[in-house]
Amino acid sequence: MSNKIIPYGKQDITESDIQVVVETLKSDYLTQGPRIKEFEDNFAKYVGAKYAVAVANGTAALHLCTLALGVQPGDKVITTPITFAASANCVKYCGGEVIFGDIDSDTYLLDIASVRRLLEESPKGTYKGIIPVDFAGRAVNLEDFKKLAQEYNLWIIEDACHAPGGFFIDANGKRQLCGNGEYADLAIFSFHPVKHIASGEGGMVTTNDESLYKKLLQLRTHGIVKDNNLYQNSSAFAGESNEYPLWYMEMQTLGYNYRITDFQAALGNNQLKRADIGLEKRRTIASVYQKAFADKTFLRGQSGVVEGHAYHLYIIEVPNRKELYDYLRSHKIFAQIHYIPCHLMPYYRNFGWKEGDREKSEQYYKQCISLPMYPTLTDQEQAYVIELILKFYATR
Ligand SMILES: *Cc1c(COP(=O)(O)O)cnc(C)c1O
């Protein structure tokens, strides 16, 4: 093999991507122009949701969600320890309290039974919401979560950063796309370069709820309203006559600047056109790994090929994980670990979390490793990764 590094994930930027960005740079708008709405409309269509709001990044998307849902200091929210820290942090931004459930060892997703246990242990009303994560690209069964949420009067934010195009099959045998707003109040996506669709930095919130949609739009831009019908100051205050002048606007709530730029939206929108091709390639790569490792006894578990899986990551669980990681790295294959359990991060330990609190997540962490998985990974590169892994375990 050449000296090229094979990472665990990587963006794919084509000539046409470059062209749309350059075109936008030459246009009248660098930000707040027409490319943003175009990207939002196409993305909403892609995931089957009514509304989409493009934002600066996935973390800003999460923060807007907790703001729009009105998370207050002390509010308790449940999420999974096996996720990127931002899934939990968005609760802390609003002063809320994060309670971690545990994962299902087979799916690596937030275990609904662990969530139910938490809910049953406390008086009703203790918890306000759940943030399930379509971890690695595998869709959470939100139909089940929605039933539980209704029972306890909870909202749901679906962290779908890993799963644009992913789906689960509902009780009627129907495909439910991640972020389609059918069960979750809000869903979020990220367009960081390692994710399926890259825009540099970028994120999206999707929803079917019109009132949440309007709140998101307002919070994204400083809490500013520009609509004659919604003003709170009288028109007499606003202008000398009894009409609101054209310059008029009101800042009605404390919002942020979480906007995306037009050239990022142009890039994201162009990438979205190839999203299905990329997804297809990811599923092919997964099936090649699956076949290569099918009868290998060193495997403790693997995500396998699951219908609707969007394969942001391809994870296997193995013994001698650190040695394998170092061995691959010495051959310029940069595998990665997803994730160090969030509850054991020093920040969350401040709130009393400690080893042993979430056993399945901690056990999973000890042996998981994410193998290279991205649409431009060549057959030859993948064969090389597989060959090295088989060689590594042949002598152990
Ligand atoms: C990437 C990611 C985020 C945050 O997205 P950014 O765009 O990097 O802010 C949140 N949750 C999960 C699960 C992610 O993978």
pLDDT tens digits, residue range 352-386? 999 999 999 999 999 999 999 999 999 999 999 99
Would the pTM count as exceeding 0.85?
Answer: yes
- pLDDT value at residue 220: 98
Q: What is the dihedral of CA 248, 253, 257, 259, to 10 degrees?
A: -80
The one-letter code for the residue type at 146 is K
pLDDT > 70? residue 65: yes
pLDDT > 90? residue 251: yes
**Mean pLDDT of the region 40-67:** 98
pLDDT > 70? residue 303: no
Percent pLDDT > 90 in the chain is: 93
Question: Which CATH class name applies to 274-394?
Answer: alpha beta
pLDDT > 80? residue 287: yes
Domain chopping of the chain, boundaries: 7-272, 274-394
- pLDDT value at residue 2: 64
Listed in sequence order, the DSSP H helices in 184-274 are 210-220, 235-238, 262-272
- pLDDT value at residue 298: 85
Q: Is ligand 1 within 6 A of the CB of residue 162? A: yes
pLDDT > 80? residue 269: yes
**Two structure tokens written together for 222:** 């400083």
Residues linked to residue 77 through DSSP beta bridges, in sequence order? 98, 129
Rounded distance from Cα 86 to ligand 1 centre (Å): 6
CA–CA dist 66, 91 (Å, integer): 6
**Backbone CA torsion sign across 209, 214, 215, 221:** positive
Question: Do the two domains 7-272 and 274-394 of this chain adopt the same fold?
Answer: no
Q: Give the per-residue SS3 of 277-311.
A: HHHHHHHHHHHHHHHHHCCCCCCCEECCCCCCCCC
Percent pLDDT > 70 in the chain is: 98
Q: What is the mean pLDDT of the chain?
A: 96
* Closest ligand 1 atom number to CA of residue 312: 15
Q: What are phi and psi of 152, to 5 degrees?
A: -110, 10
The one-letter code for the residue type at 32 is Q
- Helices (H), strands (E): how many in the chain? 14, 16
- pLDDT value at residue 296: 87
**Mean pLDDT of the region 39-52:** 98
Question: What does the DSSP 8-state code read for residue 321?
Answer: H
- pLDDT value at residue 330: 97
**Two structure tokens written together for 60:** 């800003």
In tens, the pLDDT along 17-41 reads 999 999 999 999 999 999 999 999 9
Question: Which CATH class name applies to 7-272?
Answer: alpha beta
* Closest ligand 1 atom number to CA of residue 135: 13
**Mean pLDDT of the region 39-63:** 98
* Top mutation candidate among 110, 190, 205 for ligand 1, by most atoms within 8 Å of CB: 190
Q: Is ligand 1 within 6 A of the CB of residue 370? A: no
Residue 159 in 3-state DSSP? strand
Rounded distance from Cα 347 to ligand 1 centre (Å): 18
- 250-251/314-317 β-pairing: unpaired
Nearest-Å Rg of the Cα atoms of the chain is: 22
Scanning the structure block, which residue is given the tokens 């094979």? 6
